[in-house]
Amino acid sequence: DTGVSQDPRHKITKRGQNVTFRCDPISEHNRLYWYRQTLGQGPEFLTYFQNEAQLEKSRLLSDRFSAERPKGSFSTLEIQRTEQGDSAMYLCASAGANYGYTFGSGTRLTVV
């Protein structure tokens, strides 16, 4: 068990480009969450999977954002046509049968 792994750690992209982030959860965890965190703020919920089913999406998740979790294992978060306001830390967390999440170290996105 190596914890929750996120890739890449840092991404710099030009406005208008598409980006994709990957999250590998703890292997036995069936729940996977995506959050976004900006400087000086707490994480904000984006979306949540139980196995491969996407059970909840935040209003923050505009049409430019899409998340998938094929086969209930790793997950990807794609942002299309990035905007400067998308610059943030994107955090993935996984959870098993018990309470509490295990977070990854996040992917820091900078849109220039």
- The residues of the shown chain that bind another protein, judged by CB under 8 A, are 4, 31, 33, 40-45, 48, 50, 55-56, 58, 91, 93, 95, 98-106
Closer residue to another protein in complex, CB, 50/66: 50
Contact predicate 65/44, CB 8 Å: no
What's the min distance (Å) between Cβ of 16 and another protein? 27
Closer residue to another protein in complex, CB, 12/16: 12
CA distance 27 to 10: 24
CA distance 41 to 3: 24
CA distance 65 to 60: 9
What's the min distance (Å) between Cβ of 17 and another protein? 24
